[in-house]
Amino acid sequence: MDPCSLISDCLIEIFTFLTEEDLLCATSVCKDWHEAAETPWLWRRLCLQRWSFCNLAAVGSEQSWKSYFLRRSQLERKMTKGRSGGYTCKSLRGHTGRVVGVAYLRGNSSQLPDVWSSSAVVCSAATDGTVRAWNVQKGELLWRSPVQDPLTGIVVDEKQEVVITSDSTGLIKMWQGHTGLELASFSTASSHCTLLQYNINNDWFLTVGTAQGSVCTLADVTLTKKSSLMVCDSFKVNVLLVSPDKKWIVAGTKDSDDLSPKVIYSESLTSPLEDEDPLSQSVPVAGCQAAVFIPTQPARLAVIHHTGRRGNNALTVFDVSIKKTKYKTEIQVQQVESFPLNPNSFSSGVLLEARSSNYIVLSAGDQLWVYSLKGILLANFRDHTRPITSMCVDSFRVVTASQDLSLRVLTWRSHGDLGLTLESQYHLLGGSHSMSRGFTHVACDYSSIVASVEGNDGKDVLKAYSFTS
C-alpha 332/C-alpha 314 separation (Å) is 21
The b-or-e profile of 98-117 (16+ CB within 10 A means b, else e) is: bbbbbbbbbbbebeebebee
Categorize the per-residue pLDDT at 2 as very low, low, confident or very high, splitting at 50, 70 and 90. Answer: very low
- Is a pLDDT exceeding 90 seen at residue 68? no
DSSP track, 116-164: S----EEEEEETTS-EEEEETTTTEEEEEPPP-SPEEEEEEETTTTEEE
How far CA 428 is from CA of 97, 284, 295, 401, in Å, comes to: 23, 41, 28, 9
Residues composing the chain: 469
Residue 245 burial (CB count, 10 A)? 13
Residue 45 burial (CB count, 10 A)? 15
- Of residues 55 and 216, more confidence is placed in 216
Residues 6+ apart with CB under 8 A from 261: 239, 250, 251, 252, 253, 282, 283, 285, 288, 291, 303
Check if the beta carbon of residue 302 is closer than 8 Å to that of residue 351: no
The residue type at 223: L
Residues 6+ apart with CB under 8 A from 107: 120, 158, 445, 446, 448
Q: Which helix (H) or strand (E) holds 361?
A: strand 359-364
The b-or-e profile of 450-467 (16+ CB within 10 A means b, else e) is: bbbbbbeeebbbbbbbbb
pLDDT digits (tens, 9 = 90+) for 392-401: 999 889 999 9
Mean pLDDT of the chain: 89
- Is a pLDDT exceeding 80 seen at residue 58? no
How far CA 444 is from CA of 26, 226, 358, 370, 436, in Å, comes to: 37, 33, 22, 20, 21
How far CA 174 is from CA of 218, 224, 266, in Å, comes to: 12, 12, 22
- Is a pLDDT exceeding 70 seen at residue 60? no
Nearest to 380 by CA among 389, 392, 391, 371: 371
* Phi-psi group of 72: left, alpha or beta (phi > 0 → left; psi -120 to 50 → alpha; rest → beta): alpha
Do the strands 286-293 and 203-210 form a parallel or antiparallel pair, or are they unpaired? unpaired
C-alpha 219/C-alpha 206 separation (Å) is 6
Q: Which helix (H) or strand (E) holds 31?
A: helix 31-37
* 3-class secondary-structure state, position 75: helix
What is the chain's alpha carbon radius of gyration, rounded to the nearest angstrom?
24
Residues 6+ apart with CB under 8 A from 307: 286, 313, 314, 340
pLDDT digits (tens, 9 = 90+) for 287-335: 899 999 999 999 999 999 988 766 688 999 999 999 888 788 899 999 9
Nearest to 129 by CA among 156, 155, 96, 103: 96
Q: Mind listing the domains of the chain with CATH numbers? A: 3-79 (1.20.1280.50)
pLDDT digits (tens, 9 = 90+) for 69-100: 888 888 888 888 888 788 999 999 999 999 99
Give Dmax (Cα) for the chain.
Answer: 82
pLDDT digits (tens, 9 = 90+) for 239-260: 999 999 999 999 999 999 889 9
Residue 309, pLDDT score: 66
Categorize the per-residue pLDDT at 275 as very low, low, confident or very high, splitting at 50, 70 and 90. Answer: confident
Check if the beta carbon of residue 258 is closer than 8 Å to that of residue 234: no
Residue 41, pLDDT score: 79
Nearest to 337 by CA among 317, 319, 362: 317
pLDDT digits (tens, 9 = 90+) for 105-158: 998 887 777 777 778 999 999 999 999 999 999 999 999 999 999 999 999 998
How far CA 441 is from CA of 75, 116, 402, in Å, comes to: 24, 28, 9
- For the chain, give the percent of residues with pLDDT over 90: 62
C-alpha 373/C-alpha 88 separation (Å) is 37
pLDDT digits (tens, 9 = 90+) for 429-459: 877 777 888 999 999 999 999 999 999 999 9
